[in-house]
Structure 1
Amino acid sequence: MEGPYPFVAMELLQGITLEQLLMQGPSLTYNQKWELLRQMLEILTILHKTNVIHRDVRPGNMLIQIDGVGNSVKLFLIDFAFSVGLWPNHLPDLPYLLTHPQYLVDLGGANYKPDQLKWDDAYSFYRSALMIDSNYENLFPELWNQLFSSINKIIYSHQ
């Protein structure tokens, strides 16, 4: 957080984004869909427990690794460049964004946030899950209810 350009360094991950996977067509099995939704909930729980709002949860920022042998899937949420933290885990907004909110309008994509300058990571995961399978609610009701009930719990709006 020191210096003019705060950053987060992460290990290099190999995989394909969920966005790329979805463009390839419906290739996910029932078990893979269940596992992706479960992992979305796991990531969301960590974000909520730490009071961090990613603000850019969308299929392009979800990296998927598929094991070629057992076809198991592993989900990683990437690109925390625009994340903010709420008290007590205060991660401030980048200074230039405070005076240039127009850059925030596209952040997260219009389909993955409830409003132009409002972010809700649960809502973003919910919309992403619908992109994987619009029947998630019926396929995995328990996981779906956990995700859906998390919407509006921790949100961030740009002032």
Structure 2
Amino acid sequence: MNPPLITVLNGPNLNLLGIREPEKYGHSTLDDVESLCAEVAEGLGLAIDFRQTNGEGELITWVQECRGRAAGIIINPAGYTTTSIGLLDALLASDLPVIEVHITNIHRREEFRHHSFVSKAATGVIAGLGVQGYALALRAMAQLVAPADADDEG
């Protein structure tokens, strides 16, 4: 049996992690985040598909491709958090559990960052815990996608 596939999507400018504003986002690169996710996923018996794009349309297409393919979506929508109704609609249409991740605490930042359209589609939101938020999201997702009879065992 194949492990459940979790798609980990990253929005605009996250390819600059480690370079862009390290005082806010830390020194970890996106490659570091992908390695962290791969290690955590393996320990949880999950497979991951880890991607990053600066394009809103591409991000929406990737979300649409998850339907019928993935068991859940973890997304750091970055700058599209506060602007993309299209991304919200795609996430709602996916009919999958969604966990929204932000490296910084968006509620302690500029006021325009406080509202997330994506949160309306999210099962849960993790913000402000740095790149470890991705690991926490994977742990939570593992619980969300566990087979129903898994709770009856052990």
TM over 0.5: no
TM-score by length of 2: 0.27
Larger radius of gyration: 1
TM-score by length of 1: 0.26
Answer 1 or 2: which has greater strand percent. 2
Answer 1 or 2: which has greater helix percent. 2
